[in-house]
Structure 1
Amino acid sequence: MDWFTDPDYWLSRLVVQRSLAVLYLVAFLTAALQGRGLLGDRGLLPVRTFVRRVPFRQSPSIFHGHYSDGFFTAVSWSGAALAAAVAAGAADQVPLGVAMAMWALLWLLCLSIVNVGQTWYGFGWESLLLEAGFLAVFLGNSETEPPVLVLWLMRWLLFRVEFGAGMIKMRGDRCWRDLTCLDHHHETQPMPGPLSWFFHHLPKRLHRIETGANHVVQLVVPFLLFTPQPVASAAAGLIIVTQLWLVLSGNFAWLNWLTIVLAFSAVDAGAVAAVLPLPHAPDLPDAPPAFIAAVIAPTVLVVALSYWPARNLLARGQRMNYSFNRLHLVNAYGAFGSVSRVRLEVVMEGTAEAEPTRDGVWREYGFRGKPGDVHRLPRQFAPYHLRLDWMMWFAALSPAYAGAWFTAFAEALLRNEPSVLRLLRTNPFPDAPPVHVRALLYRYRFTTPAERRRTGAWWERTLVREYLPPVRLPNPAEEAQR
């Protein structure tokens, strides 16, 4: 079966499977810890309301059959437990068919959450995890040599991630073409990390080199993934180095880590052994006929479904982070086709005053990841995904991104809703809810090194305008009159 398997990719499969299981674990933990506040019955966009409005065929999910907050939490923790077991090697200790079933169950549980996640699950890395997870079902385990067809499909996925991101940049913001985007991006990205301040203050010449290198890695290097070894492994190495640079410079959930995992699909053990000591390849049995058939069928399916993403890569109106089917099997990817020059932040505040005034006593809510307190160094959260913090960044760009969830968020603060408050870092009203809440829009910028030494602050902020005027819950008498 030389055409179907290649023993030199035993290390690639091991790294891809174990690492992908870890990322599944992170995704399920995110759902378990944030699900009630975002999607629960007392959350911001309840699943129960969504499944009554949207039919199963438009959002396939086990939650169309049954939903409760407890069931959602149980599914999330079950997925986390299964992912942890697979990451620890459980899928290599069971028969091949059982291992495939374990990977298929991870994919099904994750798909069920994503398809009812609404706004909170509208990020490209949700589809990326599902597409990679679907391919992982057919990678096999220690009972067979790695199937090269699936590894090639993973390279095709990596190609679309990188080349799609490169093309959306070249077609989008002019600053990518004149190499000036990174003069702003480290400061205005959705979720800065602890090193973002330092990246922002790198010399502008280095920012030009960063941008130029990014274009080479995203627009040229992906084609080398399909060349013979060791060139393909070297191309994967360049992608890995670039993604690690992005990991250091910001928080992009599991996007960068999953891209790194996919890059290992192009690395063969022979190329690694040339620079690092490796054990001998394990003696694995040939692939059984049933497994061969099980791999060929999805390969044909993915090739057929690739028509739309491939056409999208060449289209002038290229779509970014778009799923062409409800199962998220073969998707279009891309990131930061445009870069903000100014960082805006929505700051939520509450007051206990019955008659609030602009200059009254307002106390600020603290978020876990997004900038708030100017003296607080941004934290590292990725690959964990702070969904509310990310959507607050979008809301600051335009009220059109806020929608129904933002109104529900304000109401939850007025009720001191525990599930929603757990999404925050600090609640300034621990004993009783505020009477009014409001939102203010600020412009944030990184302090200069001199300002940092003088004030100790990482940010400087300036009030732009009121984003949401003071609101309160209606009292029972007003409700009765309605």
Structure 2
Amino acid sequence: MLPWESEAYWLVRFLFHRGLAVIYLLAFLVAATQFRPLAGEDGLLPIQQYVERHEFRDRPSLFYFYPDDRAIGITAWAGVGLSVLAFVGLPSWFPRPYAVPLSILLWLTLWALYLSFVNAGQTFYGYGWESMLLETGFLATFLGAGSTGPPIVVIWLLKWLLFRNMFGAGLIKLRGDDCWRDLTALDYHYETQPIPNPVSWYVHHLPDRFHRLEVLGNHVVEVAVPFLYFAPQPWASVAGAATIGFQGWLMLTGNFSWLNALTIVQAIATFSDGVLTSVFPVTAPSVSASAPPLYLQAISVVLAAVVLWRSVDPVRNILSERQVMNTAFDPLRLVNTYGAFGSITRNRYEIVVQRTTDEVITADTDWQTYEFKGKPTDPAQRPRQVAPYHYRLDWQLWFAAMAPSPRRSPWFLVLLDRLLAGDETTEKLLESVPFAETTPTHVRAVRYRYRFTTPEERRETGRWWERERVGTYVSPVSEGDLQLARV
């Protein structure tokens, strides 16, 4: 008997499935509330663009055949409902012969529905954690349910996924920006990350020596620790605990959607029931005499063969000197490559969107500012904690602000057009609209460089940010100007 065959994983599967169900629930809630104004029929990137520019076999989605807001809404809320059923473990309520097939059907449906959003979401769904959720969700389909234990093979496939997630992130940092190698990356990161949270300001001002130790610890956890995922217990659990602690720190100091929470869920696979019950006062049922059904074991072997076959390109990418981050190699996103922040921005730029009701623009025009739900705008506004929820427009504005004009972000002009029209669906993506009872005559976008205030500055002014104007992103425009610009 191999060492890992003596371990039980019923409790591991229980925790893994519940954690993943919560993340699916958040993902579908985001889709239900944001997908239509971003990528629906009249979205900033209309879904018809996806239909016209892609073949179904290249980016399969239900919305290829039903590209309308009603189908989007039904699919999103169906995903919310199914996520709740997955969280309460509905398949396990049924007798053993039915529990596993129902579990497979439930988790496979969640995966297929979310795949539809990711493949049709265009720029607004171009983040690494989308493919990661799909890959994790597909593997979760074959963990079984009820009183039987999960196939050990699938547990190991989850470890392989976690390894690629962490190790890929570690290597892309070591190969990328010099600041990761000279241990200065975190001198900038907390201030320039996409959406800082309230703790980010405080951590940014910790001593340089602490930041050097942080970066060194990052390299250890992402490059060395992942190899222990495949070690016997308790070493695999020690590696999993280190990963969970590391991801918890990232959650405490930033807003990275559900990336960190999903990685924590993946890390559950590094534990065993024996380790969990020895540390926590919980009891797992004895499943040593209740092996997974033979058909599920056979499926898991076929699944392992497919994953190994599809892992060739991700492994080549990880080992390549030209490693790219967050890339899918097949339309179903079954086996992907991961890694983020290979380069660190030294300066933080923000786009401030403003409106006026003046008919003629002069030097004395009074401009009022739109506030967003997550990204910094008002220097006096405390950074917000929004993750693991994901405000997609705010994230995309962070990328857009890196360039001095919206040439690479054509959706931005559409956003201005919607704001000029007073479109309520688009305005719901924002935190507040100044003088919402009136329709603006002009809007503009100004580009600023932001930095955290020093402790002394904050004591004097109460502000979290200082900013200076560095340019005009979009000059004042009216609705007619934007219509001519799109002709």
* TM-score, length basis structure 2: 0.95
Give the Cα separation in 1 of the matches to 2:274 and 2:407.
49
**Is contact 1:96–1:143 with CA below 8 Å preserved after alignment?**
no
Aligned to 2:24: 24
* Cα distance in structure 1, aligned partners of 2:246 and 2:103: 32
- CA distance in structure 2 between the aligned counterparts of 1:351 and 1:158, rounded to whole angstroms: 50
> What's the counterpart of residue 260 of structure 2?
256
Q: Are 2:422 and 1:416 aligned?
A: yes
Q: How far is 1:429 from its partner?
A: 3.6
Cα–Cα, structure 1 residues 358 and 28, in superposed 2: closer, same or farther, change >3 Å? farther
1:279 is matched with 283
2:433 counterpart letter in structure 1: N
Residue 190 (structure 1) aligns with: 194
1-structure distance, mates of 2:284, 2:236? 21
Aligned position for 1:455:
461
What SS is found at the alignment partner of 1:434? coil
Q: Using the TM superposition, give the Cα deviation of residue 6 of structure 1 relative to its aligned residue in structure 2, in angstroms.
A: 5.9
Q: 1:280 to 1:46 in 2, by over 3 A?
A: closer
Residue 475 of structure 1: how far off its partner (Å): 8.6
Instruction: Give the conservation status (yes or no) of the 8 Å contact 2:151–2:296.
Output: no
1:332 aligns with 2:337: yes
* Aligned ranges 1:27-42 → 2 under 5 Å: 27-42=27-42
Determine the structure 2 residue equivalent to 1:348.
353
Matched, 1:231 2:235: yes
1:388 aligns with 2:407: no
After TM superposition, give the deviation of residue 274 of structure 1 in Å.
3.2
Query: 1:198 deviation in Å?
Result: 0.7
2:470 is paired with a residue of what secondary structure? strand
Please show how residues 288-437 of structure 1 align to structure 2 within 5 Å. Answer: 288-398=293-403, 399=405, 402-437=408-443
Q: Using a 3 Å threshold, how does the CA distance of structure 1 residues 63 and 280 change in structure 2: closer, same or farther?
A: closer
Report the residue type matching 1:387 in the other structure: R
Contact 1:7–1:145 (Cα < 8 Å) also in 2: no
Q: Report the TM-score, using the length of structure 1 for normalisation.
A: 0.96
Please list the CA deviations of residues 145-202 of structure 1 after superposition, one character each: whole Å capped at 9, or x if unmatched: 1211111111111111111011000011100001001011000000101111011111
2:406, 2:412 within 8 Å by CA — same for their partners in 1?
A: no
Is the 8 Å Cα contact of residues 373 and 430 (structure 2) preserved in structure 1?
yes
**Which residue number corresponds to residue 110 of structure 2?**
106
Counterpart CA distance in 2 for 1:216 and 1:469 is 47
Find the counterpart in structure 2 of residue 92 from structure 1: 92
Deviations 1:328-376 (A, max 9, x none): 1100100100111111100001111111134410010000000011111
Query: 2:136 corresponds to which residue?
Result: 132
CA distance in 1, matches of 2:105, 2:5: 21
Q: Cα offset for 1:463?
A: 0.7
Which letter maps to 2:418?
A
Give yes or no for contact 1:224–1:235 (8 Å, CA) kept in 2: yes
Q: Which residue matches 1:439? A: 445
Aligned in 2, Cα 1:187/1:325: closer, same or farther, shift over 3 Å?
Answer: same
Q: Write the distance in 2 (CA, Å) between the matches of 1:65 and 1:4.
A: 46
The alpha-carbon distance between structure 1 residues 3 and 10, as it changes in their structure 2 partners (threshold 3 A), is same
User: 1:200 maps to which residue?
Assistant: 204
Deviates more, 1:44-53 or 1:361-370: 44-53
Unaligned runs of 5+ in 2: none
Tell me, in whole angstroms, the C-alpha distance in 2 between the residues paired with 1:6 and 1:228.
Answer: 11
- How far the C-alpha of 1:20 sits from its partner, in A, is 0.3
The separation in 2 between residues aligned to 1:453 and 1:210, in whole angstroms, is: 27
Residues 455-474 of structure 1 aligned to structure 2 (within 5 Å): 455-474=461-480
Question: % of aligned pairs identical?
Answer: 47
Whichever residue aligns with residue 191 of structure 1, its letter is: I
SS in 2 for 1:470: strand
Gaps of 5+ in 1: none
Q: What letter corresponds to residue 28 of structure 2 in structure 1?
A: F
**Structure 2 CA distance for aligned equivalents of residues 276 and 464 of structure 1:** 54
RMSD value, Cα: 1.9
Task: Note the C-alpha offset of 1:311.
Answer: 0.9
Q: C-alpha displacement at 1:64, in angstroms?
A: 1.3
1:278 & 1:111 partners in 2: Cα distance?
35
